[in-house]
Amino acid sequence: MKSFATRFRRQTLGLAEREPSPDFVQRVMAAIGQEPPVRKGSHWGVALAAAAGIAVLVSVYLAGTFAIGGGQEVVQARRWLLERQGGDGLWHAEAFGGDGHYTPALTALALVALRNEAGAREAVAKGVSALAASMPVRYDAQSEAYNLTLGAYALAVLSRSGGYPEARKVLSTALARLKGHQTAAGGWSYDGSDGNTALTA
Amino acid sequence: MPPDAPDPTLREQQEMLAAARGDVQAFERLVATYQKPLVNFFVRSGVSSDAEDCAQRTFLRIWNYRHRYRPTAKFSTFLWMVARQVFLDEVRHRSRKERLHKAFGKEQPGEAAPNHETGPDVASAVARLPKALRQTVLMAFMQGLKYEAIARELDVPLGTVKSRIFHALRRMRKFLEEE
C-alpha cells in the first residue's frame, strides 16, 4: 500500500511543473470569441429548440405518412439494430461504447426506428416493456432528464396506435413529471436555464 | 498583505462577476492567473496528452456558464469544480473511444496517445472512485493542496481527509490490479 501511495505521489505531485505555452491566454480568448453567444434571458436556446423540434416533428410526420423503409440501407440498418437488442429488451449504451446511464434513451430511439418494421413486432413489444420498466422516476441528473424526455417521446409515438397499455400508463406519469419541469421560457433544460435543444425537441 | 491591497478572493469574485456582465478583459485576467495551476492539474491527472486542451476547455466552459456564477464561494472553488468535471468527461470520452477501438479492432488515425507520464489506467482508476474520494484525491494530488487546506475547503475534519485518501488509494490499487 505504501509503495503504491509513494509511486502515485511521484507520478502526480512529483512531476516537474509545466509552463503553459506563451500564447495560451491568447488562444483561450480567441476561442471564446468563436463560441456562440449564450445570453441570460435571451431566446437563443428556445429558438434553436423550436427549430430542432420542428425538424423532429417533420421527420416523424414523413416517416408515418410515406412509410419510409423500402431502401436497402434502411433495411440493413434496422436489422443491425435488431441484432443488438439485449436479452432484457433494452439497447445497452455500454455495448456501443457509451455511458450505461443512457440505456433507456438509446432504447427509446431504437424503438422509434423499428416501430414500423413488420418482422420486429416481438422485439418492439419486449423493448417497450423494458423501456417502461426502466423509465426514471426523477428529473435530477442529466441522464434522468434525457432518459425521461426521450423515453416519453418514444412511448408517445408507440402508444399512438392504441397498443401497449403499459406504455400508456408510464407515459402519463412521465408527461406529468415533464410538465412540472418546463422552464419559464417554455423549454426543458438540465439545470433550470431557458431550454436545451435535445430535451425540448 | 499590505492594507491597501485588495483581497485576491474578493478581487477574483469581482472579476468573475464582471466577466458575467461581458467584461472580456476581466475574464482574461482570471485566465492569466489560473492558466499554470490548471494546466498542471491536467498534466498530473494523466488524462490527456494535451493538458492545455483540457485547460482551455475548462475556461471555455466557465465562460459559457458565467451567468450561473454566484459569489457565494471563491472563484477558485468554481474553477476547480469545472476542472474536475472536464477531467471526468475526458476519461469517459477516452474510455468510450477505447471500447470502440476494441469492438471494431482498428486504430483511429490521428488519435492522441494517452499521457504515459501518469498513465491512462491511473486516470481511469481515479474516475472510478466515489465522488467524495475522487474529489479529495484530485485536490491532494492534482491540485497539490495540503490536507489542511482540503479540510477547510470541504468543511470536513482533517482526519476525514486522511481517511478518504487512504481508502481512495486502496481502491485505486485494487482497480489497477484487477485490470
- Interface mutation vs chain A, best among B21, B56, B93, most A CBs within 10 Å: B56
The answer to whether the CB of A171 falls within 8 A of the CB of A181 is no
DSSP A89: S
Q: Which is more confidently placed, B156 or B110? A: B156
Considering only alpha carbons, which residue of chain A is nearest residue B47? A12
User: pTM of the prediction?
Assistant: 0.53
Average pLDDT over residues B33-51: 87
- Closest approach of B28 to chain A, Cα-based (Å): 7
Label residues A47-70 b or e (16+ Cβ within 10 Å = b).
Answer: ebbbeeeeeeeeeeeebeeeeeee
Give me the pLDDT at residue B109, please.
Answer: 44
Nearest to A19 by CA among B149, B38, B12: B38
Q: Are residues A99 and B173, on separate chains, in Cβ contact within 8 Å?
A: no
Grid cell listed for B18 = 464582471
Give me the pLDDT at residue A141, please.
Answer: 63
* Contacting residues for A7 by C-beta, under 8 A, at least 6 apart: none
- pLDDT at residue B104 greater than cutoff 70: no
Nearest to B83 by CA among B40, B145, B133: B40
Instruction: Give contacts of B39 with chain A, Cβ < 8 Å.
Output: 18, 20, 24
- Considering CB atoms only, which of A13, A35, A94 is closest to B144? A13
- Closest approach of B6 to chain A, Cα-based (Å): 23
Instruction: Give contacts of B100 with chain A, Cβ < 8 Å.
Output: 96-97
CA distances for A47 relative to A42, A44, A52, A186, B66, angstroms: 9, 5, 9, 11, 21
Predicted confidence band of residue B115 (pLDDT cuts 50, 70, 90):
very low
The answer to whether the CB of B125 falls within 8 A of the CB of B175 is yes
**Chain A / chain B CB contacts < 8 angstroms:** 90
Predicted confidence band of residue B63 (pLDDT cuts 50, 70, 90):
very high
Name residues of chain A where pLDDT drops below 70.
1-2, 34-71, 97, 137-142, 161-162, 184-185, 190-198
Backbone angles phi, psi at B36, to 5 degrees: -70, -50
- pLDDT at residue B170 greater than cutoff 80: yes
For the ranges A100-109, B40-49, B55-64, the maximum mean pLDDT occurs at B55-64
Give dist(CA A177, CA B38) in Å, integer. 40
Nearest to A141 by CA among A198, A191, A91, A181: A191
Q: Look-up: residue for cell 443491425?
A: A80
Enumerate helices (H) and strands (E) in chain A, giving the number of each.
9, 0
* Contacting residues for B9 by C-beta, under 8 A, at least 6 apart: B74, B75, B76
